[in-house]
Amino acid sequence: MDIVMTKLIYCGAGNKRFAKIAIECGLEYGARLPNKIYHAPYFADQDWQNPNRQRYMAAVRQYRPALATVLDLEDETQLTEVMSWAEEVAAYVTEAVIIIPKIPVIDKLPHTIQGRQVRLGYPVPIKTESKFAGRPLPIWAYGRRPVHLLGGSPQAQLTLAHSLNVQSIDNNYIMNRAIKGMFFSGGSARYAKNRYFPLGNESVFGDVLIDMPYFMFRLSCINLVAAWSGCKATIRYGVEADIPHIKRLSKQYRSELGWVRTTSLNRGINQRTLYVAEYGRRIVGFCLWHKRRDNISTVYDIAVDRAYTRAGIGRALINAIPGAVRVKCIVHNKANAFYERIGFVMEGQDSGRRNPLNVWIRPKVQNHANET
């Protein structure tokens, strides 16, 4: 199958902590310029309501993002002005200029400008928000032109990816929902009123009293990455009630895992280093890990229910671990192919207590590969 690289971008300025969490979870950082920002942006967006070309271009020139939008193309008389913006932005971006056509002029837009790709911006409608920035053109009008999805809900963006050649998305919807006590579940939370965004008190977590928005936002980032990598399950922190289910699941891999100790699972729960994959109310995978002093995280145990293998769950559990990750795998275990497939590099071998082990390392979160 062909691999389409879809960049996932958290677009939000003004809150340093949300930005830090998003980056730790592997999302790129984007912001509307020239607002105050905390990291060099991968994606720059102009203020479509109050465009100020001089200030915007100065910020784009300063930060030189990979992607940058230009003035919205809302009327054919604007074509010359919009292309002038695009020519100027193309001198500063490293990857693509995003033109947002809201009228049927796509056939008049170039595919490249100054060697930079022209990517078409598709504004994703949000029914509940009245200040939506205009209606997009029909999906068929975009053909196979590369597309950037502007805002909208994660579920709407994922649906559009079946019809459009989506190469990047930006999203702050998950932040807005996190502030209201909801987290993005990927759609498998069928026990909740909104299966895509359950409330904390509808889930196993109950009422989260400390740092609730940031707790929910991190879960949303983890599951946004999981959903775009093809995982249908919800990835979340483990809780005490999960332990019997993890124990039963681990028995499927007794020869590989040995005995998974309850004390270790409880420690992972307390330190938030135990992830579980949940489909509906069923635990279909888990990963126990530990962050070392050198900031490299070591995977102790990982398993996916044999009835749910090849469903992107193992990749999603690994991707939920922030930063660099190291894992050891018995030399002749077929899981070695899995680690190589999801972006790990073999660092060497370890003699092991019983069997020789391959040592694999992933230097950063690999969260943009989307198989089509």
Domains of the chain with bracketed CATH? 3-171 (3.20.20), 175-228 (no CATH), 234-371 (3.40.630.30)
d(CA 333, CA 180): 44
**345 in Cβ contact with 265 (< 8 Å):** no
**113 in Cβ contact with 90 (< 8 Å):** yes
pLDDT in the model for residue 9: 97
Q: Tell me whether residue 77 is exposed, middle or buried, using C-beta atoms within 10 angstroms of its C-beta: 0 to 12, 13 to 18, 19 or more.
A: exposed
Sign of the torsion formed by the C-alpha atoms of 250, 251, 255 and 259: positive
> Could you tell me the pTM of the whole model?
0.91
* Token code pair at residue 98: 């995003």
Burial 151-163 (b: 16+ CB within 10 A, else e): bbbbbbbbebbee
pLDDT in the model for residue 126: 75
pLDDT in the model for residue 281: 84
pLDDT in the model for residue 191: 86
pLDDT in the model for residue 372: 28
pLDDT in the model for residue 258: 79
Give the pLDDT of the chain (372 residues) as one tens digit per residue: 333 469 999 998 778 999 999 999 999 999 999 988 889 999 999 988 888 999 999 999 999 999 999 999 999 999 999 999 999 999 999 999 999 999 999 999 999 999 999 999 999 987 644 444 456 789 999 999 999 999 999 999 999 999 999 999 999 999 999 999 999 999 988 888 999 999 988 888 877 767 899 999 999 999 999 999 999 999 999 999 999 999 999 999 887 777 889 999 999 999 999 999 999 789 999 999 999 888 899 999 999 999 998 899 999 999 999 989 999 998 888 899 999 999 999 999 888 777 889 999 998 755 443 332
**288 in Cβ contact with 265 (< 8 Å):** yes
pLDDT in the model for residue 365: 59
